[in-house]
């Protein structure tokens, strides 16, 4: 089993919907650095191993490095701000 844990020291975060869209609400006016990330799109390694519970050979999958990007955005009072990210494994 693989897992990804992201921890942020901010109340402003979002998970994208099925279309990759997200929305942050009630953000005070100001200039911010916004970051987006995803687990790697490609497997880094597939190591064979013996699964004791099933008594069968299987493969343990490992992700590559996470893909991240960040951009500056200015939030103005009573206005919407839009930031677009294109995250893809290369």
Q: Comparing 43 with 38, which gets the higher pLDDT?
A: 38
Report, as an integer, the average pLDDT of 4-10: 75
Average of per-residue pLDDT values in the chain = 82
pLDDT digits (tens, 9 = 90+) for 15-37: 889 988 889 888 999 999 998 88
Is residue 57 within 8 A of residue 64, CB to CB? The reply is no
In this predicted structure, the answer to whether residue 3 has a pLDDT above a threshold of 70 is no
Up-side HSE of residue 36: CA atoms within 13 Å toward CB?
Answer: 18
Report the pLDDT value the prediction gives residue 8, as an integer from 0 to 100: 76
Annotated domain spans of the chain: 12-90
First-last CA distance in the chain? 24
């Amino acid at each position: 089993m693989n897992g990804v844990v992201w921890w942020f020291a901010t109340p402003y975060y979002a998970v994208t919907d099925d279309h990759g869209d997200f929305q942050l609400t009630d953000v005070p006016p100001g200039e911010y650095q916004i970051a987006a990330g995803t687990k790697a799109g490609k497997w880094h390694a597939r190591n064979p191993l013996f699964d004791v519970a099933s008594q069968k050979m299987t493969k343990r999958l490992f992700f590559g490095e996470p893909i991240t990007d960040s951009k500056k955005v200015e939030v103005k009072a009573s206005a919407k701000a839009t930031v677009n990210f294109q995250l893809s494994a290369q």
